[in-house]
Amino acid sequence: MTRLSVNINKVATLRNARGGNMPDVLKAARDCERFGAQGITVHPRPDERHIRYSDVTAIRPIITTEFNIEGNPIPSFCELVKQVKPDQVTLVPDAHDAITSNAGWDTIANREFLTSICASFKALGIRVSIFVDPVPKMVRGAKACGADRVELYTAAYAEQYPMGAEAAIEPYLKAAEEARKCGLGLNAGHDLNLENLAYFVRTIPWTDEVSIGHAIICDALYMGLERTIAAYLEEIRKK
C-alpha cells in the first residue's frame, strides 16, 4: 500500500509566527505517527522560516517510522543530512527565496552535480529520491544520476484535476510507467488533498509514498489532526 508521510513544516510555521514552542513540533511528529502516518517529512530551508535545523536533529531520535528530509542540497543542508542520517533524502531544487517548491530538477543538465550528491548520501545508507516534473526523460535522468526513487511534483495535477481527472493524470502516468521501467521507486507530492489523492493512487497503484503537509494541516483546523490523518489514509486505501 502507498505510504503516507506527513510534512510538518506548517506546524513549525505556526510556532515561529508567535515565538515560544506552541504548537510543539516534536509532539506533532509523534502524534502524526500515533494517528497512523507511516512517515514524517521535513523541509528545512536556509532562513529557517518553518522547520529549523535544530528541529531536524531533535525529531530524528523520537520517531519510529520513516524520516524523510527534503530540500536543496546546498552545503549546510548536506551536512545536516549526513549528521542526522534519515531514512530518505529528497533532493528539491528550490531557490532560497521560494515560497514553496515550484519545479523539479533538470536531471540532464545537472547530472554531474546530482550524481555526486546521490553517491555521497547513498554511501551512508540513505535512500535518495529526486524531485522531478512528470517528464519521462527527467525520470530517466534521475536513474542515470544514481537515485533510488523519484518524487513526482504534483502541483499541475492538483491544479488541473477539477477540469478533468484523466487529462490531469496522463503525464504523471507516463512518468510513473517510466520510473517503473527504470527500476526506480516512486513518490509523489505537492498539493495532493482529500479531493484528488484517491484517484492518483488508484491510477498509479505502484506509488510507494505520498508526502502531504499543507492540505493536512489546513484540514486539521476543522477536523482535528487524528481524524484528518485517518481520512487521508482512507483515501489511499480506496484504490
Q: Which three cell numbers stand for residue 153?
A: 511534483
Judge whether residue 239 has pLDDT over 70. Answer: no
Q: What are phi and psi of 96, to 5 degrees?
A: -60, -25
| Averaged pLDDT score across all residues of the chain | 96
Q: Give tens-digit pLDDT for 111-143.
A: 999 999 999 999 999 999 999 999 999 999 999
Distances (CA, A) of 111 to 108, 118, 138, 179, 186: 5, 10, 10, 17, 19
Contact present, 169 and 143 (Cβ < 8 Å): no
Domain harbouring 116, CATH code: 3.20.20.70
Judge whether residue 222 has pLDDT over 70. Answer: yes
Catalytic residue IDs: 43, 70, 190
Contact present, 138 and 172 (Cβ < 8 Å): no
Number of structural domains (the chain) is 1
- Residue 57 has a pLDDT of 98
Judge whether residue 97 has pLDDT over 80. Answer: no
Domain membership of residue 49 as a residue range: 3-237
Question: In the predicted model, what is the mean pLDDT of residues 130-158?
Answer: 98
State how far the Cα of 169 lies from the Cα of 134, in Å rounded to an integer.
9
Check residue 109 and report its DSSP letter. Answer: T
